[in-house]
Amino acid sequence: MYDLCLIQIIPVNGQRPKKSLGQHYLRDENIARKIINSLLAERTNQIIEIGPGHGVLTKYLFAKMENAVLAIEIDHNNVEFLRNEFPGREDQIINHDFLKYDLSGFDRPVALIGNFPYNISSQIFFRILENRNRISEVVCMVQKEVADRLSAGPGTKTYGILSVLLQAYYKIEYLFKVTPKVFFPPPKVYSAVIRLTRNSVSKLECDEILFFNIVKACFNQRRKTIKNSIRKITTESLPHTDLMIKRPEQLSVEQFVELTQIIQRLSV
């Protein structure tokens, strides 16, 4: 077991947090423990931490899950620091960009955890969607605005593309808000921790690529009605239904599936 004393968040080898990588290091041990305790990991034996930084979560993960943990960090300086901090765990600390990391080698579901960099959080979530049948759970800290958006339901202003796409495959829970003062350097916005748990939908009852395209097309013109938004998707004459006269934020995931089925039938 590792000494669970505070890992001080200070510049490593003269390197300060890099703005280009969106580095804001968590320095509150209570928040760190709370994030770790939010990870259920009931359907996996592999935990991947995205962007471990200086290891404030990593030390608890290694203490709790031991060999099941893989930490993926893009910053070489942080990797060097972590490998020195956790001797014997060097092979579990990978210097790589998670957005380019190949998850196809995992033959069992994996869980993700991490304080996601604000500047690439949306890209990470699209990566999660690409690997939805491999990723059973995600516990992450993101910008509060992003957490609000992902957990939003139909009829709200924050409901959008990622709300629909992620909720099609995951149960999303807004867990708790985090103040800027627990970070170094403190960001200018509040953060929040959310949990995504894979639901029982292995495949949507429609063409999933078309579903993704329709959702994106509709929300890219969210002020227009559905009928006007999907003109780029199909040139066929659209039926006059209640769905067509609504705006995208008014449609549930199930209604977007129904809309996709309608477009599919027109193309046959």
Over residues 151-193, the pLDDT tens digits come to: 999 999 999 999 999 999 999 999 999 999 998 778 888 999 9
Dihedral of the CA atoms 25, 31, 34, 36 (nearest 10)? 20
- Contact in structure between 111 and 44 (CB atoms under 8 Å): yes
pLDDT at 5: 40
Asked if the model's pLDDT at residue 17 lies above 70, the reply is no
- Give the three-state DSSP class for 252: coil
What lies within 8 Å, CB to CB, of 13 at 6+ separation is: 77, 80, 81
User: Under CATH, which architecture does the 19-198 domain have?
Assistant: 3-Layer(aba) Sandwich (3.40)
Domain map (residue ranges) of the chain: 19-198, 208-267
156 φ, ψ to 5°? -110, 155
What is the chain's length? 268
pLDDT band with cut points at 50, 70 and 90 for residue 39: very high
DSSP conformation letters of 68-137: GEEEEES-HHHHHHHHHHSTT-GGGEEES-GGG---TT--S-EEEEEE--GGGHHHHHHHHHHTTTTEEE
> In the chain, what percentage of residues exceed pLDDT 70?
91
- Contact in structure between 37 and 64 (CB atoms under 8 Å): no
The model carries a pTM of 0.89
**Domain 19-198 identical in fold to domain 208-267:** no
Asked if the model's pLDDT at residue 72 lies above 60, the reply is yes
92 φ, ψ to 5°? -95, 0
Q: Give the pLDDT confidence of 118-138 residue by residue, as tens digits.
A: 889 999 999 999 999 999 999
What lies within 8 Å, CB to CB, of 88 at 6+ separation is: none
Given this structure, which CATH class describes domain 208-267? Answer: mainly alpha
